[in-house]
Amino acid sequence: MSAIWCSIDWEKVVRVFSALLTPTIALLAAHIAWQQHLTNRRQLRLALFEKRWTVFNSTATLIAVVLQTAQMQLNEIQAFDIGTRDQEFLFGADIVNYLEDVRSHAVSLEALGAPGQPNPARTALVQWFSGQIGEAKKKFGKYMAFKETD
C-alpha cells in the first residue's frame, strides 16, 4: 500500500486540483447567482400578489355590498376607487376595463337611490352583480395564481 502512495506524482495531482479550483469556484458562484435570481423573482411575485389582492378584495367587497343591500352608497364607491387606484400598474387592460365596468354599474345603482318600489333597472343591476364574484375570480386568477415553476 505504501508503494502506491509513493508512486503517485504529487506535483501533478496538485497541478490538476489547482487547475480545477477556478472552474469549481465559477460554477459555485453561478449557482449562487441563479438561486438569488429565483429568490428575487419570488419576492417580486409575492409583493405583486399583495398589491393585487388589495384590488381584488376591494372589488369583492363592492360586489358583496350590492348583493347584501341591493343598493350602493357614494362612500362605498369612493372606497372602491381608493382600493383599486393602482390597477393600471398591476394588471393588464382586461382588468382595467373590467374594473371600469364594475364602477360604472355601481354608479348606476347609486343613482337609483335607496330601494323602494320594485324597479326593473335595479333588478337588472343587482342580477349583473350577482354573477360578478365568479367572474372576478376568473379574471383576477391569471394574475394572482402561483405556479409550481415560480
pLDDT surpasses 60 at 150: no
Range of the domain at 15: 2-144
Query: Is residue 65 in some structural domain?
Result: yes
Does any domain span residue 59? yes
Confidence at residue 5, expressed as pLDDT on a 0 to 100 scale: 63
pTM of the model: 0.74
pLDDT the model gives residue 9:
83
In a domain, 149, yes or no: no
Question: Which of these, 26, 53, 72, lies nearest to 141 by C-alpha position?
Answer: 53
Give the mean pLDDT of 82-86: 94
Has residue 13 been placed in a domain?
Answer: yes
Confidence check: pLDDT of 94 > 80 = yes
Q: What is the pLDDT of residue 4?
A: 64
Lowest mean pLDDT among 66-80, 109-123, 136-150: 136-150
pLDDT in the model for residue 1: 53
Query: Over the stretch 25-79, which tens digit does the pLDDT of each residue have?
Result: 999 999 999 999 988 988 888 888 999 999 999 999 999 999 999 999 999 999 9
Number of domains in the chain: 1
Query: pLDDT tens digit string along 17-35?
Result: 888 888 999 999 999 999 9
